[in-house]
Amino acid sequence: MIFTKLNRKTQVNLILQCMGMLIGTITHLLWIIKHGFFSAEYNVGVLSMLFWDSLTFLDPIAAFLLILRPKAGIWVTAIIIVADVLHNGSLCVNVLLSTDVPVISWAKNEWMFWMQLFFGLFVVATFKGNLIALKTNR
């Protein structure tokens, strides 16, 4: 198994990313259990609903790939988190621009986005090092 041959730092990076993707899975799964697929509670368009509901299935695939097939896993994870941060970030900015809510209140209300952004920055920051470790198999 490639994962066990990687250096400890890379293993920790992949485990943390795996945990982040599983947290995303749980978040989407809990939403679907409470509101159902394509819920009107999203208060967004159909494409956004489809995107978020699809993450219920894509996030755990990425999580397992990070351990079982790390090279594919880091690519899939990076693509998912970058797309998710861009998508959710645009929605968050639209909320800020379309309401009179103070910026501080807006920032507090969007705490889940900030956590996602920090996770996304971690994934992007470790991407190259993880790829190098996988190529050298250390």
Mean pLDDT calculated for residue range 75-94: 96
Question: For residue range 20-39, what is the model confidence (pLDDT) as tens digits?
Answer: 999 999 999 999 999 989 88
What pLDDT is stored for residue 50 in this prediction?
93
Q: Which two tokens stand for residue 42?
A: 């999203």
From 11, 136, 5, 28, select the one nearest 74 (Cα to Cα): 11
CA nearest to 24, candidates 51, 48, 58? 58
- Domains of the chain, by residue range, sit at 7-136
- Strands, E assignment, 1-138: none
Count other Cβ atoms within 10 Å, centred on residue 61: 16
Helical packing angle, 70-98 and 46-68, nearest 10°: 150
- Max mean pLDDT among 42-46, 84-88, 95-99 falls in 84-88
pLDDT band at 100 (very low <50, low <70, confident <90, very high): confident
Chain Cα centroid distance, residue 24: 6
Average pLDDT score, the chain: 93
pLDDT per residue over 33-82, tens digit each? 999 898 887 788 899 999 999 999 999 999 999 999 999 999 999 999 99
Concatenated DSSP letters for 40-59? GGG-S-HHHHHHHHHHHHHH
The whole-model pTM stands at 0.92
